[in-house]
Amino acid sequence: MADRTIEDRLREEYFDLLPDIRRVREQLEAEVRFHLLTISHSLRKHERLEVMSRIKECGSAVDALRRRQEGREFDSDRPEVYTLSALRDLAGVRILAFPGGRLTEIDQVLRLRFSSWHPDPVLDENRDVLAYKYYGYCAEASRKVQGEYQVVPMLTGLFWQVEHSAIYKPDPKLKDVAKLPEMQQRTKEVQSALQKFGEEFERLVLGEKDSSK
Amino acid sequence: MKQDLLKDAGYHLNFDRMLYFNRQTKKAFSIEFVDEHEESELERRIQEDGDRNGWRFYFNSPPSAGVKRELERALG
């Protein structure tokens, strides 16, 4: 019988980890929703807050690990060095807020609960925070699988979602194309436009509210 | 720009592997290597001779024999 490939071994590992991944997602989403209740109950008419969660699929997880290797190739002489538990986002929660005015408040509330988690913010070209991102363990749910949560301006998060489902989900290899400077420039322009849109909206809505007092 | 240096020297990007490669000189640069190194260093590496016996890979972490084999097969 032919030897199992590294991909075969990783697929098996994925299904061993799956119950833990599910528990982490469930625990993380429930805790995030609970801790944000005060904020979500105090939202003004024009404000929105959404909590979404997802589990990374098997193929995407194997592919994400492969994309970490230079040349995008596993070393078949050292299969033991690869494990999916190295991925920090097998279970993930994304919190979307519109407009962006509430992001800092949301981040601070969650920071108190997840104080031991590691920050890994998404930065823009000026090194300003585009989205807050943290990873760590939900000890009640799993000691093997880490979770990740992100606090993202809603328009940016929805753009990432569209980009993912239209381009990268059908062909994950294309994900690397986004790293090329030409694409990064275009992405930067989209993100900057979305940010300005949100800021302008908030300025006008708040201005309207103030003037009607 | 680093990408222009590579393009001008006859390198193409392989999207599957994220390698800039040149079949004539049998040299390939990983996108991580390109990111990590200055333009002057990259230019120097582009100028240097390749290996007579096969491909030369410019990686931040040198690829193992097994990985080299697979990449050589993929690049043709």
Domains of chain A: 6-154 (3.30.460.10)
| Least confidently predicted of A71-75, A174-178, B68-72 | A174-178
Q: Nearest CA to B37 among B58, B62, B10?
A: B58
B17 to chain A, any CB pair closer than 8 A? The answer is yes
Task: Let me know how many helices (H) and strands (E) chain A has, helices first.
Answer: 6, 6
Question: For chain A, what is the mean pLDDT?
Answer: 91
Whole-number pLDDT of residue A2: 66
Helix A58-67 / helix A6-35 crossing angle, nearest 10 deg: 110
- Rounded to 5 degrees, φ, ψ at A62 are -60, -40
DSSP state of A44: -
Does pLDDT of A92 surpass 80?
A: yes
The pLDDT tens digits of the residues spanning A106-126 come to 999 999 999 999 999 998 878
Residues 6+ apart with CB under 8 A from A101: A47, A202
Confidence of residue A105 (pLDDT cuts 50, 70, 90): very high
- The Cα B10–Cα A30 span in angstroms is 54
Three-state secondary-structure class, residue A118: strand
- In chain A, the percentage of residues whose pLDDT exceeds 90 is 68
The side-by-side arrangement of strands in the sheet containing B19-22 is B12-14, B19-22, B27-30, B56-58
Whole-number pLDDT of residue B23: 92
Nearest-CA distance A11 → chain B (Å): 20
Confidence of residue B8 (pLDDT cuts 50, 70, 90): very high
Cβ-based contacts of B15 with chain A (< 8 Å): 173-174, 176-177
Which amino acid, A156? T
**Chain A / chain B CB contacts < 8 angstroms:** 53
Does pLDDT of A173 surpass 80?
A: no
Q: Nearest CA to A164 among A147, A181, A178, A148?
A: A178
